[in-house]
Chains A and B, each alone.
Chain A
Amino acid sequence: MADLHVAHTHAHPSGVEHHFNSAAQQKDASTVGMWVFLVTEIMFFGGLFLTYVAYRHAYPLAFAAASERLDIRLGAFNTAVLIFSSLTMALAVHAAAVGSSKKVLVGFLILTLVLGCVFLGVKSVEYYDKYEKHEIPGPNFEFHEGADPAHATLFFSLYFGMTGLHAFHMIIGAGLLLFLIVQSARGKYTTAWHTPVEMTGLYWHFVDIVWIFLFPLLYLIDRHLK
């Protein structure tokens, strides 16, 4: 009987799957795959950004008045928190790549996770403020500011839709970080193979970029239009 398994006529470097020639090729493939996923995410968020641009163009006064109701200080603080978390994430990837001690890698991952949680905490404070002021679109929505209050609900719908989807991505990112913390504490990652750390890093930075656009678009618009 013929052997069902393809005979191995070549050796594999350790940690490299059968279908790759080298560790470098394997990592390039992971990077490309992750970026293809991130491009789908760009288009996913892109639809919401397009909706935002179209409605802001249609109802500039309503958007300006509604945007004023957001707390710029909290928005700017959260932007700084996310940028700082991107730095710690980049340093975590760096630590994994140069083979720093386990403590350094786990430390940076924990710091990134903590900063992510700070962001979500501030976001929930902002959401609660909107709840108290009846500025969440729905039956209890109340808004009388500016020249066009009737269309302010569009701004707040987009605000909650976009920041909500962003926060959901942060929560997934926090889950990934927890996984990485456990795995790296177990010493699973080496200088030769730490692809999960790198790919989670790409994801985390992407989520940061989404916020880099959300912050000026939602918090900083048209403060002089009224």
Chain B
Amino acid sequence: MTGHIVPKKVYYLIFLTLMVMTAITTAVAFVDLGRFNIVVAMAIAIFKASLVVLFFMHVHYSTKLTKMIVAAGVFWLAIMLLMTMSDLLTRGWMGVPGR
């Protein structure tokens, strides 16, 4: 809610987690996980972004209206990415040129 003061301790904890996650994602890039390199990298990036949104940007303490707007933004982004990729990724399945 408005006027909520987040303790500084929370910020330091989030900062530390973000730094550790950055180190992990960089290190993992040098390990061959095949197709899962991108999965791990994106999972860590989404986790980091969520921490920033929820705590640095105070969404965790915000009104429901603000939360809904954030969720709507993420949802529409997901529609754009998933719909487009479900098209591009499945075009070869039919074995028909141009489809």
Contact = CB atoms under 8 A, between A and B. Distances in A.
Q: Say if A and B assemble together.
A: yes
Interface string B19-36: 100110110011010100
Interface string A208-222: 110011011101111
B25 A39 contact: no
B11 A87 contact: yes
B36 to A, nearest CB: 11
A54 B84 contact: yes
B57 A202 contact: yes
Most chain A CB neighbours (cut-off 10 Å) among B29, B56, B84: B56
Interface string A45-58: 01101100110011
Contacts of A87: 11-12, 14-15, 56
Interface stretch (A4-12, A29-37, A109-117, A161-169): A29-37
A205 interface: yes
A59 interface: no
B12 to A, nearest CB: 8
A118 B84 CA distance: 37
A90 B32 contact: no
Interface residues of B, number: 50
A215 B45 CA distance: 9
Given A36-B69, A49-B81, A216-B45, A91 B8 contact: yes
Contact count band on A: 35 or more
B89 interface: yes
A86 B11 CA distance: 10
Most chain A CB neighbours (cut-off 10 Å) among B25, B26, B32: B26
Contact of A91 (B11, B53, B76, B85): B11
A72 interface: yes
A94 interface: yes
B37 A43 contact: no
A207 to B, nearest CB: 10
Nearest to A35: B69
Nearest to B87: A54
B77 A72 contact: no
A50 B73 contact: no
Contact of B38 (A43, A83, A94, A221): A221
Contacts of A50: 80-81, 84
Most chain A CB neighbours (cut-off 10 Å) among B22, B34, B38, B63: B22
Given A90-B55, A201-B56, A215-B22, 17 more contacts: A24-B3, A28-B63, A31-B66, A32-B69, A35-B66, A36-B69, A57-B85, A86-B15, A87-B11, A87-B56, A90-B11, A97-B5, A98-B5, A216-B44, A220-B29, A222-B38, A224-B37
Nearest first, the 6 closest Cβ-Cβ pairs linking A and B are: A39-B73, A220-B29, A216-B41, A224-B32, A87-B15, A24-B2
23 contacts: A27-B3, A35-B66, A39-B73, A42-B73, A43-B76, A43-B80, A57-B89, A72-B29, A86-B18, A90-B6, A94-B6, A98-B5, A201-B57, A202-B57, A205-B57, A206-B57, A209-B53, A212-B48, A216-B29, A216-B41, A216-B42, A222-B37, A223-B32
